[in-house]
Structure 1
Amino acid sequence: MQNRETWGSRAGFILAAVGSAIGLGNIWRFPYMAYENGGGAFLLPYFIAMLAAGIPFMILEFGLGHKFKGSAPKIFSTISSKMEWLGWFQVIVCFIIATYYVAVIGWSMQYFLLSFTQGWGATPSDFFFKDFLGLSSGPMNLGELQMPIFLAVVVAWGVAYFAIFTGIRGGIERLNKIFMPLLFLMVLVFIGFGMTLEGASEGLQWLFKPDFAALAQPKVWTAAAGQIFFSLSIGFAIMLAYSSYLPKDSDISNNATMTVFINCGFSMLAGVMIFSVLGYMAAQKGVPVSEVVSSGVGLAFITLPTAINMMPMPVLFGVLFFLALTIAGLSSMISIVEAIVSAVMDKLNMPRKQASTLICGLGFIISVVYTTGGGLYLLDIVDHFINNYGILVGGLIEICFVAWFCKLDMIQKHINATSEFAVGNLWKLCIMAVAPFGLAVNLVIALYEDLTVHYSGYDFSALLMFGWLMLAAALVLALAMTCKQCAFKECVSANNDFRRK
């Protein structure tokens, strides 16, 4: 058995954990969620969800990883041999995410290059869908390979491979020590220039003006809980793997709390960055902000390029935004891949370099499908089902299993043994009731919507193939990986024995 690596410093671990939590969703999802759900009033349920669910769950995962010193499958199998499948289900979910998440990073990389000349032209919408993506007729028609996206995906996988291949200290920690300060610096510079634009203050009013009547709507509270959960990288193997590399005397509670606060603080900065630009765009067009606001892919690759075209310093704003988007994506991508590699190393006793090559190579091959003309459709469907069911189900089962059927007092004692501040009965209440309730409600709402309406109007055959059957296949594969007589494990063990001889 190989000796487990450790982080070189507390700051290195915090930056890596923050790098995992801060991703594309912080930039293009949180601002729109706040705007749509009561503006400034949304911050109340958001912070309540952060304190009652986000921080407690993060502390739990840091405690589990630190105590059991392993990846998600190893941790759950150590607690109960019957639950190893849950860890593998979370790891497989990570693998699926990696294969399509890298495509969006590829888009960001290409738009970073385009931003030097505003290469998206006068009509960013037409450029994005027709010229850049070469969008096909639907998810069942892949169309042609888009070479610029393909090449960017190669680079993105290369960065992830370098980080994972070179190890915790030499790769992941070192890159995040560069990525995270640079990301915050770029966002702050963007905000500094953005706030000088005409209409920027009006944009922030649209974002932060409170509509307290919205607090009476249940959907606002579930949206806040969902945003906290999805933006923290909890419940799907990542933080378990990262915290397993913590040194013996690490401060669990403090590290977890700092990670959550920094992540949520960045979301607020992203909101200021985005809505200052949307306010300027609305002022130039002479329309209210509500007519230009959007989220997700449309915000990043259509609305923002349109706004950048109107700005007095388009190259500066374009370069800052798309480089920030790229770095946020890469830092999350690295953590996703590490969660998978860590599990393979634990299960198969495979050296890091061999495991990194296997996972990154296989992931790259599969991700090529998202660089085709039908890639956006596939990405949209897969992302919807993975987020609403893969992550939610895995996280819900994890927290219920640990909180209700394990000795939570034992984990609490381990956390308090090395933490600056102790967690008590309130933390246990949040873990046993508040967090599971929030996850369950979001899961029920998602299931109800998908059973009553076809997601985004896609044909049922596409939703069945790339949604429901994909989830079923992930579960079957997870169960297969728990088999003690796993043929793949025997082959790898035999290969390792041969190499040693």
Structure 2
Amino acid sequence: MTQKKDVQLEERGHWAGKAEYLLAVAGNVVGLGNVWRFPYLCYKNGGGAFLVPYLVFVVTCGVPLFLLETVMGQYTQEGAITTWHKLCPLGEGIGYAGQLILFYSCMCYIVILAWALLYLCFSFSAELPWANCDNAWNTENCVDITGNNKTFNWTEQSNSTSAAIEFWERRVLAISSGIEEVGSVRWEILLCLIAVWVACYFCVWKGVKSTGKVVYFTATFPYVMLLVLLVRGLTLPGARQGVLYYLYPEPAKLLQPQVWMEAVSQIFFSFSLGVGTLTVLGSYNPYNNNCNRDCLWLCVLNSCTSMVAGFAVFSMLGFMAHEQNVPIEVVAESGPGLAFIAYPQAVAMMPFPQLWAVCFFIMIILLGLDTQFVMMEVVMTSVTDLLPGLLRRPGGRRELLLLIYCLVCFSAGVLMVTEGGMYVFQIFDYYACNGTCLLFLAVFLSLAMGWVFGTDNLYDIAEDMTGVRPSPIFRVCWKYLTPIASLISFICSIIEYQPLTFNRWYVYPTWAYVLGWMISFSSVILIPGLALFRLVTGKGTLRERLLHLCTPADDLALTRKQKQKPEFQNLTGDTDGKHSVVTGNHQTAVEQLMVLHSL
């Protein structure tokens, strides 16, 4: 009867080729943060000097955790939750916490794509609507900087606003006075949100079979757009000034703890660490894939893309500062302010502005689309691997679950496309998906795998899969540098916490801050909460329960190569390397290796 059920389950699947895996990971880790976050952080935190803390954390946290998560997925061939069942059951809460953070991210991240799609539609207008002050939504304080007012003195007229800001706040968002005033739904953004959700659904609905094909376009075309914008930006007057502001080193900034904090946060955001994304994507690889080499090159690609994007962004901002005859700090923005105010304002001042606006927003949409549907695929894979008997049966049960998941996230997103939606969006973005949560996950991830599962076992399985033993520096990072750096950064992020504000003037009510902390706490509490629950509800003495939760599953305690040795097969009667060793459930992997070696 069991065999009959097994036959009815659909295959989990693999990437059709190496290129699909590389493009899927590249599309996920190279996202909006590379374009609108890294360049601003570099400029704000010492220019070229910012690369010092950035590279320090790349070496101590970024690359080691990138490889660690990939190894976990490729070895177990499981999702972000069930991989912990097999490697270190005590860390099961890490898997659940990561998926909850991804769930929150899916709800708010796609709203950015809806905004970008709306801007793309407006980019085909005969005249860009954010380029002048002759529209119904403009106020008497609006200033058209693309016409005769290019040299307008902003410092003397503090009440004045640009046409791009008024288009963003008054036309697109129609933003209310505060989070208490939700207002009506912005129907244009809602229609764009529906369109983006439909696109994401069909990118993911067949699992890696569809995701692997879509990334050939979504992961490569943004680089074409970025190259076009880079070349155009560097040929504009004032570009040199912008690039100098971007990279001019200020070593004194390195003495400020906040600079180091923002460097490590950027690493965790841009490398997609801690939430299980790399584990799931790696789980669709062949067992013998050389993940050591893949991870190194993908990390290099990510960092290089961030640097190149900085040249594209700041050459354009330098041009805008040159045209307005103002310091570049007046026009420099980060996040949505860059994508929907500063950059649109810059292209409005260029010849053929519609062309450059279309290129920019296509790049933004494709960069975000990659990240969005990969996050969806990660959650779906993790849940499917958790309930394979229910969701891998033929008949479209996975597709139905995906549809329900999209509808739930869409329903929450509707609140973010109201007149007060920007305030709700910021609450989720600042608290649910922030660096503090990711750092908390990283501390327990590195402790669970570096100390409980053990670096020796990690080295064994990495060598078994790739035929190459990882560099000794990874042993030091997995066991010492990564958990220490993550823990110190986590503590500093709590100490340096600054309450969320909007546009530097709007202070949220107390209940909004409480709600934000509750959302943030909802994910991190799963890690100690589930570990404690397993300890309390397990069988045997406390020591036996703890030992059981720290012991890998029997069928993964030894590497597959070792299981195929004749002496192991004679001991267990296992002739295909698939059955477990019979040395007891509570022996550690190291003890089992010693038993095998003694034979």
Normalising by structure 2, we get a TM-score of 0.77
Distance 1:435 1:140 in 2: 41
For 1:488, the equivalent position in structure 2 comes to none
Distance in 2 of aligned mates of 1:77 and 1:2: 21
Among 52, 55, 62, the alignment partner of 2:60 is 52
Which stretch has the larger CA shift, 200-209 or 388-397?
388-397
Identical counterparts, % of pairs: 29
Q: Secondary structure at the match of 1:407?
A: helix
Q: Deviations over 1:267-289 (max 9, x none)?
A: 11110110010010011011221
Corresponding position of 1:461: 511
Match of 2:198 in 1: 158
- Tell me what 1:120 maps to: 130
Of the structure 1 ranges 385-394 and 55-64, higher mean CA displacement relative to structure 2 is found in 385-394
Query: Aligned-pair distance for 1:217?
Result: 3.1
Picking from 62, 71, 89, the partner of 1:63 is 71
Amino acid at match of 2:404: L
8 Å Cα contact 1:345/1:355 also seen in 2: no
For residues 419-473 of structure 1, the C-alpha deviation after alignment (integer angstroms, 9 at most, x for no partner) is 37531331111122222233223322322233xx5322322210112x1222344
Contact 1:254–1:420 under 8 Å retained in 2? no
Q: Name 1:6's counterpart in structure 2.
A: 14
Work out the CA distance in 2 between the residues paired with 1:388 and 1:418.
32
Q: Shift in Å at residue 254 of structure 1?
A: 0.8
**Structure 2 unmatched ranges of 5 or more:** 1-8, 133-162, 393-397, 502-506, 538-599
Corresponding residue of 2:460: 413
**1:325, distance to aligned residue in structure 2 (A):** 0.6
Cα distance in structure 1, aligned partners of 2:42 and 2:454: 38
- Mapped to 1, the partners of 2:295 and 2:81 lie a distance apart of 21
Q: Deviations over 1:145-196 (max 9, x none)?
A: 1111111111111121111102203x21111111122110110011111111
2:96 alignment partner in structure 1: 88
2:420 matched to 1:370? no
Match of 1:445 among 473, 492, 507: 492
CA distance in 2, matches of 1:51, 1:388: 18
Distance in 2 between residues matched to 1:119 and 1:481, nearest whole Å: 55
- Aligned residue for 2:407? 361
Question: Alpha-carbon deviation of 1:140?
Answer: 2.9
Does the 8 Å contact 2:75/2:465 carry over to 1? Answer: no
* Cα distance per residue 1:301-332 (max 9 Å; x no partner): 11111111111221122111111111010000
Give me the whole-angstrom Cα distance separating, in 2, the residues matched to 1:278 and 1:252: 39
Tell me the amino acid that sits aligned with residue 128 of structure 1: W
CA distance in 1, matches of 2:38, 2:226: 15
1:26: which partner in 2? Answer: 34
Q: Following the alignment from structure 2 to structure 1, what is the Cα–Cα distance between the partners of residues 10 and 82?
A: 14
State whether structure 2 residue 407 is matched by structure 1 residue 399: no
Is the CA contact (8 Å cut-off) linking 2:63 and 2:296 kept in structure 1? yes
Letter in structure 1 aligned against 2:459: Q
Show the counterpart of 1:16: 24
Q: Indicate the structure with greater helix content.
A: 1
Q: 1:475 deviation in Å?
A: 5.7
Partner deviation per Cα, 1:113-138 (whole Å, 9 max, x = no partner) = 21223233421111111211121222
Residue 406 of structure 1 aligns to a residue whose secondary structure is helix
Are 1:222 and 1:438, in contact at CA under 8 Å, matched by a contact in 2?
A: no
User: Which whole-Å CA distance do the structure 2 matches of 1:236 and 1:50 have between them?
Assistant: 17
Work out whether residues 88 and 481 of structure 1, in 8 Å CA contact, stay in contact via their aligned partners in 2: no
* Structure 1 CA distance for aligned equivalents of residues 419 and 526 of structure 2: 29
Q: Which moved more, 1:120-129 or 1:432-441?
A: 432-441
- The answer to whether the 8 A contact 2:49-2:250 is kept is yes
Q: Matches of 2:192 and 2:530 in 1, distance apart?
A: 34
Q: Deviations over 1:213-237 (max 9, x none)?
A: 3233333233222211211111112
Match of 1:495 in 2: none
Q: How does 1:414-429 map to 2 (within 5 A)?
A: 414-419=461-466, 422-429=469-476
Cross-structure match for 1:260: 299
Within 1, Cα distance between the matches of 2:21 and 2:438? 23
CA distance in 2 between partners of 1:342 and 1:124 (Å): 41
Q: Are residue 281 (structure 1) and residue 289 (structure 2) matched?
A: no
Q: How many residues align?
A: 481
Q: Give the C-alpha shift of residue 477 in structure 1.
A: 7.5
Distance across 1 between alignment mates of 2:81 and 2:66: 18
CA separation of 1:125/1:153 partners in 2, compared to 1, >3 Å: closer, same or farther?
same
Q: Which residue of 2 aligns with 1:146?
A: 186
Q: Provide the rounded CA distance (Å) in 2 between the counterparts of 1:83 and 1:56.
A: 18
CA RMSD of aligned residues (A): 2.1
| Aligned-pair CA distance for 1:245 | 0.7
1:134-283 paired onto structure 2 within 5 Å: 134-169=174-209, 171-283=210-322
Contact 1:134 / 1:144 at 8 angstroms: preserved in 2? no
Q: How far did residue 72 of structure 1 move?
A: 1.3
1:178 maps to amino acid: F
**Greater RCO structure (CA 8 Å; 6+ sep):** 1
Which 5+ residue runs of structure 1 have no aligned equivalent?
Answer: 486-501
Match of 1:433 among 472, 480, 483: 480
Mean alpha-carbon deviation: is it higher for 386-395 or for 361-370? 386-395
Q: Distance in 1 between matches of 2:449 and 2:21?
A: 24
What is the match of residue 342 of structure 2? 303
Question: Is the 1:226–1:439 Cα contact (8 Å) retained in structure 2?
Answer: no
CA distance in 1, matches of 2:427, 2:496: 14
Please list the CA deviations of residues 84-135 of structure 1 after superposition, one character each: whole Å capped at 9, or x if unmatched: 2221111011001100001011111111121223233421111111211121
Which residue in 2 is equivalent to 1:494? none
Distance 1:224 1:473 in 2: 25
2:388 is the alignment partner of 1:388: no
Which amino acid in 2 is paired with 1:408? T
Give the structure 1 partner of residue 569 of structure 2.
none
Q: How far apart are residue 379 of structure 1 and its match?
A: 1.3
Aligned AA (1:462): A
Give the match's secondary structure for 1:176: helix
